[in-house]
Structure 1
Amino acid sequence: MPTPVVMPQLGESVVEGKIVRWLKREGEQVQRFEPLLEVETDKVTTEVTAPDEGTLLRIYFPEGITLKAGTLIAMLGKPGEPVPERPYRIGHGGEIEPLEEIPAVPAPAPAPAPPSPPSAPEPTPAARREGGPRISPVVAKIAAEYGIDLSRVPGTGEGGRVTKKDLMAYIERMRLQPVGAPAVQEAELPPWEQPGTGELFRPTEEVLQAAPAPAAPPAPTPTPPPPLPAAPALEMPFEVIPLTSMRRAIAEHMVRSKHTSPHVTTVFEVDMSRVMAHYEVHRAAFEREGARLTLTPYFIMAAIAALKAYPIVNSTWTDEGIRVYKVYHIGLAVSLGDEGLVVPVLRNADAYSLIGLARAVQDLVERARQRRLKPEEIQGGTFTITNHGISGSLFATPIIHQPQCAIMGVGRVHKRPVVLETPQGDVLAIRPMVYLTLTFDHRIIDGAQADAFMSKVKATLENWA
């Protein structure tokens, strides 16, 4: 009897998965528990193994399809055995439910058409005077409303540019000019109306009273302003990188974290002299025991000591109150290169010795980079450590991994000169130093508590036995 292969439910909150790659083809022989295909969820990419041995008789869905858990995706059996023509879904009680519609393979995004070269905008009076400098859109609009030829307006701006002040003075002179009088020329203007003379000179009240009152000119008929030239589109070559499920999940998680928690970061510097001395002495012995020692286990042990001293940092916010955990499940941020990052969880980390932590960390990191983590191994953390220093970063302000309330960042350990206080006075010495940061949820933790926690981490590392 053929054996059905269904889309597994990879985690308690995971209801669907995407077929990334089939590792076997129709007609191939498959052994029991042999990897059959790779499935990607919003949390992790994992291999799905064959539930039984036999021939892969039918593949119902190609790569790239996202399906709900329980959907029939393939059939295993003996060559020639009949298999269903259409896939179905197996419900929670084992009942078979027909699929309402068969998901289609998502069509690839069409390649963007090559941009056409932008056409040069038509020159308009709003953009430039004839043969002269550019003018502002405001000046162009006023000139159009009053029907003024800007070539007749003397400009006092840079390079003879007509400013708004020049144009309004010209309009005022036109208004005061008697009907039928020839156009006012610059040489005929009184000295107080000459442009470019600095502070305007105004005639006395007696002169103004003696001057005949000019007849008011007819109100000019406003004309619609000419359209401003459209700015040419800025075309640049680009490439669209499709969003993976992991990248979408990271983006949503980071945005949700910043919206959920008020983030605050405190920075401490730590002298790693004792830790580095211990590391150099024991590294070879650990390797002989099959454990590759790194600095991460030291930071985990220091963080656990601080979490035990200040339990509020090992907590989460709920509507009922602050939930303080009695276990120490430490999340370790692991970079997957361009694909993103994942945070596997080391459960009950306080139960490990240093060499035990070295083995456990090595195992988690290797399986994370080989995409072999189980969904439950990236859930349930109570506190997270991110070692951004492996890429050369000195210190950073990480984003809290919700629903936790704090994350500790570890910078690069580097030697630098520091001032040491001794009974004989201050001395200058070279020490391996590191910056540690704690980003915390200010709803739960105050600055004094965060600093006390980091002081405990610092003291544990600096006084390593």
Structure 2
Amino acid sequence: MIDVMVPLEQEGTTAVVSGWLRQVGDRVALNDPLVELETDKVSVEVPAPAEGVVAEILLSKGDEAKPGQVLARLRPVEEMATPAPVPEASDDAAREVAQPAGKDRSGWFSPAVRKALAETGMDPRSLRGTGRDGRLTLADVERAARAPRAAEPVAMAPAVQPQPSTPDPANGRSTSVPHDSMRQAIARNMLKSVTEAPHVTAVFEADFSAIIAHRARHKAAMAQQGIALTYTAYLLAASARAMAAVPQVNARWHDDRLEMFGDINIGIGTALGDKGLVVPVIRRVQDLSLSGVAASLQDATTRARDGHLRPEDVRGGSFTISNHGVSGSLFAAPIIINQPQVAILGVGRLEKRVVVREAGGVDTIQIRPMAYVSLSIDHRALDAHQANGWLSAFVAALEDWRD
């Protein structure tokens, strides 16, 4: 038998099985997609490691999948033999073959099957399993739950006078949308972050006049190269410059040490609509030109929204940016840190505001394009001194942008 295993390397919380693309008995070729796994950061298809026939599925939809765990087993094609004919039998006899009497059926149930049995109230002894050796699968339980049931006798109870009730405004029309595995993983990761890391947020204000002028001069030329020059590209480049002033921000927290990195690998929060968000990583930002940053950013966010990210595309981030201003948010704090990183930058909506600026030794009132920028830090690793120093360097990089 050939084991199909969960990839050893993954970024994000523990993966769960979001769906099987092949079933027991299906023949597959090398690299055919077998199953889809999902974490809070990425969905990935696990391919067949060889040609064969799916002989056994060990994890059901919704089951937790740990790195190195066996998902399924394939029977090599050369070992397949024509099965002996099975004599016809009654339904009762077939059930005895599928689920031999005397075995402890409770040991055959995966966590997803046990949960489905509890939710539906189905008796597993009344169900026929279609899995290997008669094992009960999630599909068996769901199929039985959808089937019409015979009406059960209802015991007569003494008549009770109706009691007046107060209308509950919450009992009007509603729609329940089950959480998908990505949303559940995001929830677990966010809860872990806020309960384990003491969040502190510092807020500065940045003048984008220099950035807007620079972008106006270079946007058309980059567009001819197929590159979209966005404000987020400047945020990435300015973040890399600020790391030179306060390198402790480009780090990960461990219980016994702070791991600081030479490479600046910045994750960008990318919204996927109602599905949630993912954080593709732009690598070695300190070595990229502005056009290189913009091109890498465009490629990563496009593949994220098209569902084409690979596990390595969301792995290895040392810092994260949440540009929540693109959806209209003026300010958001605290932004949840993507642990084990120690900081996350939030950038609000860019808007024209009235500010006071000195001109020729005289205070003047001017209209400038401004945005609030915030840095949420893990207070175990960083203090206000580092947070304010980093933000000062970041704002200076934006306001003093040079060609």
Q: Give the TM-score normalised by the residue count of structure 2.
A: 0.71
- Partners of 2:381 and 2:58 lie apart in 1 by 47
Structure with greater proportional helix content = 2
- 1:399 is matched with 336
Q: Please give the root-mean-square deviation of Cα atoms over the aligned residues, in Å.
A: 3.4
- Partners of 1:63 and 1:366 lie apart in 2 by 31
- Partners of 2:206 and 2:241 lie apart in 1 by 16
CA change 1:365–1:328 in 2 (3 A) is same
CA change 1:346–1:75 in 2 (3 A) is farther
- 1:236 is matched with 171
- 1:64 is matched with 61
- 1:376 is matched with 312
- 1:180 is matched with none
> What's the offset of the Cα at 1:34?
4.8
> What's the offset of the Cα at 1:270?
1.0
Give the aligned residue type for 2:72.
L
Q: Which has the higher contact order (CA 8 A, sep 6+)?
A: 2
SS in 2 for 1:258: helix
CA change 1:59–1:277 in 2 (3 A) is farther
Give the aligned residue type for 1:436.
V
SS in 1 for 2:262: coil
Is 1:446 paired with 2:383? yes
Is 1:48 paired with 2:46? yes
CA change 1:65–1:432 in 2 (3 A) is closer
> What's the offset of the Cα at 1:393?
0.8
**Residues 17-70 of structure 1: per-residue CA shift (max 9 Å, x gap):** 414252x6889886654545433245421123344568x676858973536432
- 2:347 is matched with 410
> What's the offset of the Cα at 1:263?
1.4
- 2:116 is matched with 107
Is 1:270 paired with 2:206? yes
**Does the CA-based 8 Å contact 1:266-1:439 persist in structure 2?**
yes
- 1:11 is matched with 9
Give the aligned residue type for 2:382.
I
**Does the CA-based 8 Å contact 2:270-2:278 persist in structure 1?**
yes
SS in 2 for 1:326: coil
CA change 1:81–1:292 in 2 (3 A) is farther
- Partners of 2:228 and 2:205 lie apart in 1 by 26
> What's the offset of the Cα at 1:302?
0.8
In the alignment, structure 2 segments of 5+ residues that lack a partner are 84-106, 121-144, 146-161
Give the aligned residue type for 2:269.
A
**Residues 164-205 of structure 1: per-residue CA shift (max 9 Å, x gap):** xxxxxxxxxxxxxxxxxxxxxxxxxxxxxxxxxxxxxxxxxx
Give the aligned residue type for 2:17.
K
- Partners of 2:272 and 2:391 lie apart in 1 by 28
- 2:36 is matched with 38
- Partners of 2:257 and 2:49 lie apart in 1 by 44
**Does the CA-based 8 Å contact 1:18-1:40 persist in structure 2?**
yes
Is 1:421 paired with 2:358? yes
CA change 1:19–1:403 in 2 (3 A) is closer
- 1:120 is matched with 164
Q: Which moved more, 1:246-255 or 1:232-241?
A: 232-241
> What's the offset of the Cα at 1:305?
1.0
Give the aligned residue type for 2:185.
A
CA change 1:74–1:455 in 2 (3 A) is same
CA change 1:302–1:28 in 2 (3 A) is same
How is 1:280-359 mapped onto 2 (pairs within 5 angstroms)?
Answer: 280-359=216-295
CA change 1:286–1:232 in 2 (3 A) is closer
CA change 1:71–1:264 in 2 (3 A) is closer
**Does the CA-based 8 Å contact 1:270-1:458 persist in structure 2?**
yes
Give the aligned residue type for 2:248.
I
Q: Which moved more, 1:362-371 or 1:31-40?
A: 31-40
Give the aligned residue type for 1:450.
A
- 1:193 is matched with none
SS in 1 for 2:70: coil
**Residues 77-122 of structure 1: per-residue CA shift (max 9 Å, x gap):** 59x8669xxxxxxxxxxxxxxxx635365639669xxxxxx8316x
Give the aligned residue type for 2:226.
G
Choose the corresponding residue for 1:386, options 294, 300, 322: 322
**Residues 113-152 of structure 1: per-residue CA shift (max 9 Å, x gap):** xxxxx8316xxxxxxxxxxxxxxxxxxxxxxxxxxxxxxx
Q: Which moved more, 1:340-349 or 1:356-365?
A: 340-349
- Partners of 1:262 and 1:250 lie apart in 2 by 19
- Partners of 2:314 and 2:284 lie apart in 1 by 14
- Partners of 1:40 and 1:442 lie apart in 2 by 31
